[in-house]
Amino acid sequence: MAAAGGNADRGTLKLPSSPFPTRTEYLVAELRCAALRARLKLADIEAVGLALKRGLIEPEQALELLCDCDCLQFVQPTEPEL
């Protein structure tokens, strides 16, 4: 008996052939985790920037906070042009 909409396989659970993920599935999961870690770093950087802009912290404190959350590597100061 076909399910409503004509798709007889709809709603059936497909079990993986192996309990271990394929390399592709594993990489996709790792990329998902990396994206979440990047979003967390972005939130940290934005919070430090906002606190600095609002005068809640001094520039030295901002650098320390960025170092604490391992985000200092994304700040690349350049020499001022004379």
C-alpha 41/C-alpha 33 separation (Å) is 13
Predicted TM-score (pTM) of this structure? 0.66
* pLDDT per residue as tens digits for the range 13-58: 666 667 788 999 999 999 999 999 999 999 999 999 999 999 999 9
- Kindly tell me if the per-residue pLDDT of 12 is higher than 70: yes
* pLDDT per residue as tens digits for the range 71-82: 999 998 777 777
**Which pLDDT belongs to residue 78?**
76
C-alpha 22/C-alpha 63 separation (Å) is 41
34 burial via Cβ count (<10 Å: 0-12, 13-18, 19+): exposed
- Kindly tell me if the per-residue pLDDT of 60 is higher than 90: yes
Instruction: Note whether 4 and 11 are within 8 A (CB).
Output: no
**Which pLDDT belongs to residue 4?**
53
- Kindly tell me if the per-residue pLDDT of 1 is higher than 70: no
* Half-sphere exposure in the Cβ direction for 82 (13 Å, CA): 0
